[in-house]
Structure 1
């Protein structure tokens, strides 16, 4: 993750697009809207070759904006296009191998923690972050209560940073920040926002600047 603010920061998840140019355009607009710590680029249904081509262009935009580009999908693709990191799905063997192979050259984080027990098992591997929720789990305006509860429990106990999935409304970022989580992940709230992705990112940063609790140094 880039930089260290004294409050919860925004992580973007790139949605699925048929049109690669539109995807890049919307991402560029989002990144121009204000502070973004990192961007997760999922593979969705693309084969490795198509995904590599698509991700290459997006990673360039993300890094040019000063954010960290995290690839969710094939680790070989992440290496070839010089992404900043890998987002994994919660398989402990895969996580252990990736940490051994890529850290500290790359960021390695993971989702897949549906409860405290799974979260602690993941934490034993010392990933760079843990993600609560699903990358496409923003199906309601607010963040899922279970993810908020896990984020609050984790942030109060464990030093490894956590990202909590928000909802489809930009205001869900504040509920995540109030758990003490270091990062809030948004997808539809930014990319399907009627005001446009740039305005959505600006709005989230304004909410967090004004109302998010501050971390102690």
Structure 2
């Protein structure tokens, strides 16, 4: 098995921030993806493209084209097949699988582009055995080290108002874990 790439930051916001605010936050460092949980994301698409940030919508596969998004993040693994039929192979589909190995393996076998897993032990198991990228959810105020060391490819961080300083701080924390 080849070495996994370094862990990257994946921000989740309750609704799309203003494009200028996202642009300023992205200036803080590496930001792999932005998950917009609600509201419109269309105004963010140009900033995301320019900054190389994947724009993801939560549970809104049908809105991808209109919003200019790159993919969908599903909160229910059972929704995967319908989303893939709708979007085809060219769009990113990530799936939150909680603590279920079975759900994660099932959607990965069917072509999910990433799985979000809960728990350090499950992340470590997945990273050791599977090729499909895994996302670990970083709780507010939690230390990212256990998730990074477990092998998370991405850290999903909830942030209602992302800033350059917050992005910088999170990237420093991820880098420190990788060096330790």
Is contact 1:177–1:213 with CA below 8 Å preserved after alignment?
no
Give 2:104's aligned residue.
Answer: 119
Select which of 8, 20, 31 maps to 2:26. 31
Q: Label 1:131 to 1:213 Cα distance change in 2 as closer, same or farther (>3 A).
A: farther
Task: Provide, for residues 152-199 of structure 1, a one-character-per-residue CA deviation record: whole Å limited to 9, x for no partner.
Answer: 111111110011100212x622221111111111114xx46xxx7211
Bigger fraction of residues in strand:
2
Structure 1: tracts of 5 or more residues without a match: 44-50, 134-146
Correspondent of 1:132 among 102, 112, 117: 117
Q: C-alpha separation between the residues in 2 aligned to 1:116 and 1:91?
A: 11
Q: Which residue of 2 aligns with 1:153?
A: 125
Structure 2, gaps ≥5 residues long: none
Looking at structure 2, the residues matched to 167 and 108 of structure 1 have their Cα atoms a distance apart, in angstroms, of 23
Shift of 1:84: 0.7
1:166 paired with 2:127, answer: no
Q: Secondary structure at the match of 2:144?
A: helix
Shift of 1:213: 5.8
Could you tell me which residue of structure 2 aligns to residue 90 of structure 1? 76
In 2, the alpha carbon distance for the partners of 1:27 and 1:207 equals 20
Conservation of the 8 A alpha-carbon contact between 2:61 and 2:87: no
Q: Say which SS state the counterpart of residue 111 (structure 1) adopts.
A: strand
Determine the structure 1 residue equivalent to 2:10: 11
Number of residue pairs the alignment of both structures matches:
176
Give RMSD over aligned pairs.
2.3
SS at the partner of 1:87? strand
Any runs of at least 4 consecutive aligned residues in structure 1 with deviations exceeding 4 A, and if so which? none
After TM superposition, the structure 1 = structure 2 runs for residues 38-53 of structure 1, keeping only pairs within 5 Å, are 38-43=33-38, 51=39
Give 3-state SS (helix, strand or coil) of 1:206's partner: helix
Aligned residue number for residue 72 of structure 1: 58
Distance in 2 separating the partners of 1:158 and 1:81 = 32
